[in-house]
Amino acid sequence: MLTDAHAHLTGPGELSYRAHTRTLFCGTDPQTAAQILALQGDNALLSCGVHPWHAQKVTPGDMLPFIRQSAALGEIGLDSVWTDADMDVQRRVFVEQLEIAEALRMPVILHTKGMEGEIERILRRYTVPKLVHWYACERYLEDYIAQGCWFTLGPDYESNPAVQAVLRRVPPDRILTETDGLEALAWALNRPVAADEIEEALRGELRAIAAVHGISEAEAEQRVSGNLDRFLTGGKSRNQQAAGG
């Protein structure tokens, strides 16, 4: 089973191309969260939260009914590059959601664009599992690793030196694969991408993980799948969770 630990859903028909992929779909507002919630199943899971781009339009309270039904809270964070949303509002919404995650003991998925240092410092106050989505900054990586964060490998790993650093330096028991959805995958690859290319894109990431860490592709696939389980269950395997361990 392939793993897509962070994706935005283009449309329900996309699920037919993810038959062999367990996907953590991200809802960034009540409308997208409701759409994904209706599709939840063995291979389609929901994560949701107020994306920093929406911090002035959506409140954590708007998302709370969906957060309570989600596998993870996110993506949440701060962004000084791709949005003009007021930074003070972003900070307030981000911290409020971290407090919700801590109270509910929910793992969080993080968006860190341009604000990597500040986010890393804020996260030190929280003990929930933390997944840094598509980290693409050449600074602070070791600080996040030292916190025990998980990371998704950005789909531009072949061309982005910062993403290549994630591939090399993050331990194989803390790395996951992602597409970020079809639109982001097309942006990363700088070409149009069809839904039937999703699984091959994820397999390409697995091959890169296997090559860098000296393991087989099959072992990389197994490890990545187990990493998602442990992230979602607070560091426990599925078997440990089922046994109450």
* DSSP character at residue 112: -
**Over the stretch 110-149, which tens digit does the pLDDT of each residue have?**
999 999 999 999 999 999 999 999 999 999 999 999 999 9
The domain spanning residue 20 has which CATH number? 3.20.20.140
- Is 243 a residue whose pLDDT tops 50? no
CA distance 24 to 131: 12
- Provide the domain limits for residue 9: 2-242
Q: What angle do CA 109, 112, 118 make, to 5 degrees?
A: 115
The pLDDT > 90 percentage for the chain reads 91
- Is 244 a residue whose pLDDT tops 50? no
Considering the entire predicted model, what is its pTM? 0.94
Residue 13, Cβ density class (10 Å: 0-12 exposed, 13-18 middle, ≥19 buried)? exposed
Number of domains, the chain = 1
CA 147 to centroid of chain Cα atoms: 17
Please count the other Cβ atoms lying within 10 Å of the Cβ belonging to residue 212: 17
Closest CA to 127 of 151, 102, 92: 102
Determine the pLDDT at residue 235: 60
